[in-house]
Structure 1
Amino acid sequence: MPTVPAVRALVPRASVARISRRAVLSGFVVLTATGALTACSSSTGFAPSVLPDGKVENHLNVYSWGDYSDPDNIAKFQKTGTTVQLDSFGSNEELIAKLGATRGTSGYDVVVPTGNYIPMMSANGLLQELDHSFLKNFENIDPLYRDQSWDRGNKYSVCKNWGTTGYAYDTRVITRPMTSWADFLDAAQNEASKNVAVLEDPWEVTSMYFAANGIDPNTTKKADLDAAEDFLVNSLAPHIKAFNSTAVTSGIPEETFALMQAFNGDVRQGLLVTDTPEAWKFVYPTPTANIWMDTWAIATGAQNMDAAYAFIDFMLEPEVSFREVDYIGYNTGVTGVEKMAAEREFELPELVFPPAEVVERLTPAVVNEAAERLVAIVNRMMAKAGS
C-alpha cells in the first residue's frame, strides 16, 4: 500500500461545528472512544436481505465524528444481533493519521470522512471500493447528492449528511437587505464591526473573499492568494471578534454577535432556542458557497464487511434517515425525507432543505496545493484580530 503523505493542518478542524452541535444544546453525553451500545433484543423490522446468506457478523466497529448518529437508530440496528462499537475522532486529519498508521489493521469497519478527503484517502489505500449490489438503498439517495466531483460514481463513499455555509445577521443591527458574500464583507467592516464571528476553517474564511470577487474558491493562483491575504489580514481581520465554528449556536440566543459566518444546520439550532428568532435572518449567499458532505465509507482491512454493508444500507432507509435528520439537524440527501419533515411539522425546514437552485450553485471544497497557504492566511488573520 502507498504511504500516506504527511498531513499538516489541511483545512484544520473543518468539521468541528458538526461534532457537538447536538450536545451543546441538549446536554447529550457524547459517546466516548471506549463506549459501545449493546443490543437489548434479537429481532427488528430491518433485515440485511441483500447479503448472500442474510446474516452478518455480530460486531461492527464504526469510527465517526462525536455524537453524529441518532442513538435510537444505532439501538434499532443492533436488534439484528450486531453490536455497534462507536469511536470518535475530532478531524479528518485524525482519521487519516489513524488509518494510515495502522495500514489496514485499525480494526475499524465503517468510517465517516468528509467528501473532499476521499481522493487523498483512496489514493493511499485507506478505503475499500464499494460493491453497490450490497447497498439496495443507494437508490434512495437523491441524484443531487450522488456522483460528486471528489468521488465519481460513488466508488468509495455514499452521502451520510451534507450542509452548506452561509451567514446569520441581526436585523436590528444590520437593517439593509443582505444577499451576497460582498454584503457580508461590507457589513463586517461597518455596522457589525467588532461584532463578527467567522469559522475556523481556512477554506471557508478565504472563500468569502474569492466568491465576493468572482474567483474560484479552489484557486491555486498566487495572485489570487496574495490579494486574498492582503484584504483578509489588513482590511477584514481588525473587525473580527471571534474565529469560532460553533459561535452561532450560542451567539444567536445570547446575542453575542451581530454577524456570523455559519453552517446552515447550526444556525437552525441557534434559532430554535432564541427568544427573538424574528430578529435574525440567514442567507444562502451568492454567488457560491461550500457544499460539504460527510460520507459513509468502508476502511481497508475491515473485518466485518457484511455488517458494514448492512449498517450503511440501514442508514439509507427513509424512516431511519429522517430520524438522523431530526437528531443531527442536517440533510441526509435521501429522497422523501423533506416530505416527511413537512408532514411532521419539522421546524425551520428551509435551513435544512435549501431549494435546488441553491444546491446547484454550491462549490465543494478541494484539498489542493493551496491548502497550506490558506492556513497561513487565517493564522495571520487571527494574529491581526487579536492584536
Structure 2
Amino acid sequence: MKSLIRGALLIIIAAAVLMIVNAQLAKSGAQAGGNTLTVYNWGEYIDPDLIKQFEKETGINVIYETFDSNEGMMGKIEQGGTSYDITVPSEYMVEMMRKKDLLIPLDYSKIPNMKNIDPYFEDLPFDPKNKYSIPYFWGTLGIAYNPSLLEGQTFESWDDVWDPSLKQEVVLVDSAREVIGMGLNSLGYSLNSTDPRELREATDKLKTLSPNIKAVIGDEVTQMMMNNEAAVSLIWSGQAADMMSENEDITYVVPEEGSNLWFDNIVIPRTVKNIDGAYKFIDFMLRPEVAAQNADYVGYSTPNLKALDFMDPEVTSDERYYPDEEARGHLEVYKDLGLEMLGFYNELFLEFKMDMK
C-alpha cells in the first residue's frame, strides 16, 4: 500500500513539474513571439499613442527598445541576443545590413498599405526595389540659427558658419559623417568621398572653425538652441522643427552647396520571432492617418503621400521640410563606405575634436 501511495505521489509531482515547465515555455514563447512584438527604434521616434492603438487593435503586446546609433543597433542585431522583430536603420545601414545577410526579404502581399508611399522614395540605390526596407521618415541636414542673437548673419552657404563674428556661438551634432560632411560640402566635394586628399582638406578646414564652436554634443543641441544658449547649430530638419516649435526666433536653412538627404527605414531583421506581428505593425504604420499622426508627433517628414492629406498644409508646403524635386537635386544620400573608410572618417572626426581642446 505504501508503495502505491508513493507511486501516486511521484506521478502527481511529475505532472506538477511538467505543468510548470510548460507554463514557462509558453511564457518564453510569448515573450519571443506569439502575442509579443519587439520593436527596436531611435529614441522618441514614434507616437506612444500609436503603440497603444496597435496593441488594442491586434492584442499584440509591444516591447519597445531604443538605440542612439546605427552602428550600435547593428551590433546588437549581429549578436542575436534579443529577438528583435522590427528595427529602423538609416539608408547606408540598410545597405550594410543586407550585405551582411541580417535582413529578411519583405513579402509585399502582407503590406497592402505600401501603395501609400510616394514613388519618389522607392527603389533607391541602397535597397533596389525595396526588397528589404520601407521608408519611415526622411529629411535633410542643415543649419538652425536664431537671428535675434546675431548681427544680421544669414546662412546661404556653409562658409557662413566660419564667420569670425560667431565666436563660441556654434554647436555641432556629435556625428562623424555629418561634421566631416559639412567640411566636404563646403569645399564642393561629395558627402561620400573616399579620397584621402579631400578628406584631409575637409578636416583641416574644420579645424579652422574651432574658435566658433561652443560644443559638439548629442540631443542637447535642441535644448541649447531653444534656451538661447547658442545661436547656430548643425542639425537635422526634424530637430530644427522641434526647436522652432518652442522658440519662434529660430529658423532653418539648407545651404546652397547642398547637404545630406537621409532616409530611415522599417526592416525585419533575421532575429525576428513574430513575423506575422511584424507585418501587421508595418502595415498599421503605413495607414495614411497613422503616418500623419506619427509625423505630427515626431516632427520629421513622412514619405507617405496619402498621409499629407491628413496634415497641416502649412507644414507640408514648407520647403524647408518638404523640398521639391528640384531642391532635392542638390542633396546627396549617404552610401555605405565600408567599415575601413567609416573608421577613417571617425579617426578624422576625433582628430578634429581633439584639436578643439
Alignment of 1:294-305 (within 5 A): 294-305=264-275
Aligned residues between the structures: 321
Say whether 1:101 aligns with 2:101: no
Give the alignment's TM-score, normalised by structure 1.
0.77
Q: Give the residue type in structure 2 aligned to 1:77.
A: F
| 1:216-365 alignment runs, 5 A limit | 216-233=190-207, 235-274=208-247, 277=248, 279-342=249-312, 349-365=318-334
SS in 2 for 1:215: coil
One-letter identity of the residue aligned with 2:355: K
TM-fit CA distance, 1:244: 1.8
Matches of 2:330 and 2:110, distance apart in 1 = 32
2:311 counterpart SS class: helix
Whether the aligned pair in 2 keeps the contact of 1:247 and 1:260 (CA below 8 Å) is no
**Contact 2:141–2:234 (CA under 8 A) maintained in structure 1:** yes
Give the secondary-structure state (helix, strand or coil) at the position aligned to 2:259. Answer: coil
Output the CA distance in 2 between the equivalents of 1:348 and 1:270.
Answer: 19
Structure 1 residues 239 and 252, CA, compared in 2 at 3 Å: closer, same or farther? Answer: closer
Shift of 1:192: 0.8
CA displacement at 1:263 relative to structure 2: 0.9
Secondary structure of the equivalent of 2:303?
Answer: coil
Find the aligned partners of 1:280 and 1:66 in 2 and give their Cα distance. 23
- Kept in 2, the 8 Å contact 1:61–1:107? The answer is yes
Report whether the alignment pairs 1:74 with 2:43: no
Q: Given residue 226 of structure 1, which amino acid in structure 2 is its aligned partner?
A: R
Q: Which runs of 4+ in 1 moved over 6 A?
A: none
1:162 to 126, 138, 163: 138
Letter in 1 for 2:143: Y
Separation of aligned partners in 2, 1:311 and 1:255 = 39
Offset at 1:90?
2.5
Alignment match, 2:19: none
C-alpha displacement of 1:91? 1.9
Can you list the C-alpha shifts for 1:275-316, whole angstroms capped at 9, x where unaligned?
xx2x43311112221122211101114221111111101101
The gaps in structure 2 that reach 5 residues or longer are: 1-32
Instruction: Specify which structure has the higher proportion of helix.
Output: 2
For the 8 Å contact 1:322–1:337, the answer to whether it is kept is: yes
What is the alpha-carbon root mean square deviation over aligned residues? Answer: 2.1
The answer on whether the counterparts of 2:137 and 2:303 sit within 8 Å (CA) in structure 1 is: yes
**1:147 matched to which residue of 2?**
123
Identity of counterpart residues, as a percentage?
31
Which structure 1 residue ranges, 5 or more long, are not aligned?
1-55
Question: Partner of 1:17 in structure 2?
Answer: none
* Contact 2:173/2:221 (8 A) holds in 1: no
Amino acid in the other structure paired with 1:382: K
SS at match of 2:41: strand
| Cα distance in structure 1, aligned partners of 2:46 and 2:191 | 30
Shift of the 265–351 alpha-carbon distance from structure 1 to 2, 3 Å rule, reads farther
In structure 2, C-alpha distance between the alignment counterparts of 1:365 and 1:237, rounded to whole Å: 25
Q: Deviations over 1:44-83 (max 9, x none)?
A: xxxxxxxxxxxx9522221222332111111111122222
How do residues 21-40 of structure 1 correspond to structure 2 at under 5 angstroms? none
Larger radius of gyration: 2
Mean Cα deviation higher: 257-266 or 105-114: 105-114
